[in-house]
Amino acid sequence: MERGRRLLADPHHTKGTAFTPEERRERGLLGLLPAGVQTLEEQIGRCWSEVQRLSSDLDRYVYLRSLQDRNERLFYALLAAHVPETLPLVYTPTVAEGCRRFSEIWRRPRGLYLSWPDREDLREALRNRPQEEVDVIVVTDGQRILGIGDQGVGGMGIPIGKLSLYTLIGGIDPARTLPILLDVGTDNAELLEDPFYLGWRHHRIDEDAYTEFVDRFVEAVRAELPDVLLQWEDFATPHALPILQRYRDRLLTFNDDIQGTAAVALGALRGATDVAGTRLRDQQVVMLGAGSAGIGVMEMVAQEMVDEGLSEQDAYARCWVVDVRGLLTADREDLSEAQRRFTVDPGVVAGWGIDGLPQLADVVEHVTVGVLLGLSTAAGAFTEQIVRTMAGKVERPIVFPLSNPTANAEARPADLDAWTDGRALVAAGSPFAPLRRGDREVPVAQCNNVYIFPAMGLAVTAARATRVTDGMMRAAARALGAASPALRDADAPLLPPWADVRAVAEDIAVAVAVQAVADGVAPTRDEDELRALVRSTRWTPTYQHP
């Protein structure tokens, strides 16, 4: 049992000023703390007052990370007491600036940094993890951080932030989480020239070396932590899907940018189609953006259409994808295998009278599009003309500008609302101000993966799943769609408010666990048993008393 200064410095077990007089005597703390004893609630109030006093969101981010390093129970209790206010501070959008300035604001290490020069010793590095038992790893290579690109070692802000949400929302014990940064260099010239940069100061390694390094990493994880959930985060498009396909049948793993983004988008779509009085299988769906996230969303949409009764051929025929060049057509030679699944026969568009590849406006002009999605980072790409054309053909157009950060959104929700006379069903990828409906403010749903991945971690941990299946992801999406406030009030947002996200996570986790059993990747248990396991697995940020 830790005592004295070691106990005070242990972020998992310290109570700081909440240690009682008896505990101070028993645990060697006399004289190490001021005489006043505070409750956890009083500590929360004091810390929240400090957060509010700070002048910028980056300062608040740094303060909260420092609090996490000092006292994790207090950190999570503070977040739980102020979920809507703190989510943007510990993750998007503030985490982007935290990643940009990672080396500048560095305070103390958290997680593991596995670099190419140490490739022969990855198992030894994993053995240096702070805690022996780990339930969830989030790993990135820092190459495609949010919408700000290659941040090298600064990408570590993403796994740290994601795992904070695994704990806050999913209830995963923070002592059983592990952020990892694969440092394979950076091609960001500013970082390479920055005298304060803390990463391996080298251009990114070539593709063969990269594949070898990731393979070594996965084998080290399988050897040291065979039952851990491994989440891939913010990998560049050329790597994201191949990595997922290579390892998804070898260990418990998923890619949040591909599968998590797809699941939350599908969840919002399920709510939107129910509000519109239609089925997803009856919609023509257009995606602007053909990267790993965009293709991942469309794959899940197509499979959901199949689950609703369409043949696979008919489902894919209702899915249209437009990239930076134009519509994906079967005669293009610049497409990946994943993109090729969404190509359109050139004969279908031959009668449109267009020279070259059809663009987004052409597709909307010639197809009765009911759902328009964007993961392109092309700001303003959903123009007034495009949206008005779409709204002239369907009663309740469903429009999701999902790119982030906010500056990259394909449209502003307020404009979408105005251009459709309030008929559009809107969800965005970034936070936006509420819409005005008379004297009422209507929040804009944010398709943030935070609705999905913490519940996924809770589900697989509680159910002891061995794999993450596509069916489990779609089960999460359906459970999220069923929680849409718009089902009870058509003017309400399509996704639950942040204040409710911790409660919603339980129902999503149970649905995922039930599907894991159905898919044969978890021990057989009924729904009541799984709900009991989910509840008993959740860690809560309270102080333990003798």
541: tokens are 């940020």
Residue-range domains of the chain with CATH: 4-90 (1.20.1370.30), 94-251 (3.40.50.10380), 262-449 (3.40.50.720)
Number of Cβ within a 10 Å radius of residue 228: 22
Report the DSSP beta bridge partners of residue 442.
435
Kindly list the distances between the CA atom of residue 210 and the CA atoms of 185, 204, 220, 440, in Å, as whole numbers in the listed order.
10, 9, 15, 53
pLDDT of residue 404: 80
Q: What is the pLDDT of residue 10?
A: 95
Strand, coil or helix: what is 184? coil
What's the rounded Cα separation, in Å, for the pair 221 and 538? Answer: 24
Q: What is the pLDDT of residue 92?
A: 84
Burial tier of 223 (Cβ tally within 10 Å: 0-12, 13-18, 19+): exposed
Residue 453, helix vs strand vs coil: helix
For every one of its 546 residues, what pLDDT tens digit does the chain have, with 9 covering 90 and above? 789 999 999 999 999 999 999 999 999 999 999 999 999 999 999 999 999 999 999 999 999 999 999 999 999 999 999 999 999 999 988 999 999 999 999 999 999 999 999 999 999 999 999 999 999 999 999 999 987 899 999 999 999 999 999 999 999 999 999 999 999 999 999 999 999 999 999 999 999 999 999 999 999 999 999 999 999 999 998 999 999 999 999 999 999 999 999 999 999 999 999 999 999 999 999 999 999 899 999 999 999 999 999 999 999 999 999 999 999 999 999 999 999 999 999 999 999 999 899 999 999 999 999 999 999 999 999 999 999 999 999 999 999 999 987 888 999 999 999 999 999 999 999 889 999 877 888 899 999 999 999 999 999 999 999 999 999 999 999 999 999 999 999 889 999 999 999 999 999 999 999 999 999 999 999 999 999 999 999 999 999 865
Q: How much is the pLDDT for 174?
A: 97
Residue 376, strand partner residues:
none
pLDDT of residue 546: 55
3-state secondary structure of 344: strand
User: Residues near 55 by Cβ (< 8 Å), separated by ≥ 6?
Assistant: none
Give CA–CA dist 175/404, Å, rounded.
30
- Return the pLDDT at 137: 98
- Give me the helices (H) in 91-205, please: 94-100, 102-105, 122-127, 157-168, 189-193
- Show contacts of 115-118: CB within 8 Å, 24+ apart: 115/183, 115/184, 115/199, 115/200, 116/183, 116/184, 116/185, 116/200, 116/202, 116/205, 116/209, 116/213, 117/200
Question: 389: helix, coil or strand?
Answer: helix
Spell out the residues 6+ positions from residue 90 whose beta carbon is closer than 8 angstroms to its own: 61, 64, 65, 79, 161, 164, 165
Collapsing DSSP to helix, strand or coil, 113 comes out as: strand
pLDDT at position 373 is 98
Q: Is 451 a catalytic residue?
A: no
Query: Among 162, 166, 316, 451, which one carries the catalytic annotation?
Result: 162
Q: How many CA atoms lie within 13 A of 88 on its CB side?
A: 15
Phi, psi of 177 (to 5 degrees): -120, 155
For residue 425, the cross-strand partners are 398
Q: Which residue has the tokens 């503030």?
A: 94
DSSP code, position 302: H
Based on the residue annotation, tell me whether 15 is a catalytic residue of this protein. no
Rounded to whole angstroms, how far apart are CA atoms 449 and 146? 12
Amino acid letter for position 280: L
The phi, psi pair for 59, rounded to 5°, reads: -60, -40
Residue 147 has a pLDDT of 74
Burial class (CB in 10 A: 0-12, 13-18, 19+), 400: buried
**End-to-end CA separation in angstroms for the chain:** 12
Question: Which residues have a Cβ under 8 Å from the Cβ of 266 and sit 6 or more positions away?
Answer: 297, 300, 301, 304, 474, 477, 481
Of the candidates 76, 91, 316, 451, the residue annotated as catalytic is 91
Residue-level pLDDT at 32: 97
